[in-house]
Amino acid sequence: MKIDIWSDIRCPFCYVGKKKLEKAMEQFPHADKVELVWHSFQLDPQLKTQPERDPFEFFSEIKGISESQAKLMHQHAYNAGKEAGIEFNFEQQKIANSFKGHLLIQLAKEKNLANEMEEALFSAQFIKAKNIDDEATLIEIGKKVGLTEEEVQNALKSDDLAYKVKQDMNTAGNLGINSVPFFVFNDKYAISGAQQPPVFLEVLEKSWKEFSDGDNGLQIIEGDSCDADGNCN
């Protein structure tokens, strides 16, 4: 059985969703037979990396709201993270384009290290306040996950991996996915957003009993997510 996951490493609810799915998997007796397939999704492909910018000032600018309002909007994500065991460090997070990080995820997929790479990049972005668009930072992350420095350097200039990132995003568009995280269970059931572990567990159990049937279309359960307009709720 497989779960396809569309996610952006700049999306806090994608990190929350990952943790909640993992919690559900701990209670699922067939977890060892579930394959997680991570797919790239960029909420803002045109984002200019500006690691020196204050994150709340930046967010208030692009959304046209006050900094105090920006902080309040982040509070919901912070509380969701706390519940999932994540201590978000929004005050120090870097404004950085996620494309290079997605190149590493695509490489990690080829080496069965995608889940480890997702965790490392989420942690770098949201906890350690690293610049995930910086080559030296990505080399450090890659080596900790199990890649070599040469593999990371080659990945960052790989047209093949860049194509796979764009292909994932095109597939998302074809499926009507416009916010992340988005989970598809055996091509039959879908969860949009960071649902609670019991919801994930229920869908895991349903999916285990049923084979995919493409003619029926996706049945979608919705929860907290981030969309391409920068709205996280």
Give tens-digit pLDDT for 74-114.
999 999 999 999 999 999 999 999 999 999 999 999 999 99
* All structural domains of the chain with their residue ranges: 2-227
At residue 188, the pLDDT reads 87
At residue 209, the pLDDT reads 86
At residue 215, the pLDDT reads 41
Taking residues 30-34, report their average pLDDT: 94
Class of the CATH domain delimited by 2-227: alpha beta
Q: Is the pLDDT of residue 224 over 70?
A: no
Give tens-digit pLDDT for 172-196.
999 999 999 999 999 889 999 999 9
d(CA 231, CA 222): 15
Cβ-count burial of 175 within 10 angstroms (0-12 exposed, 13-18 middle, 19+ buried)? middle
At residue 226, the pLDDT reads 67
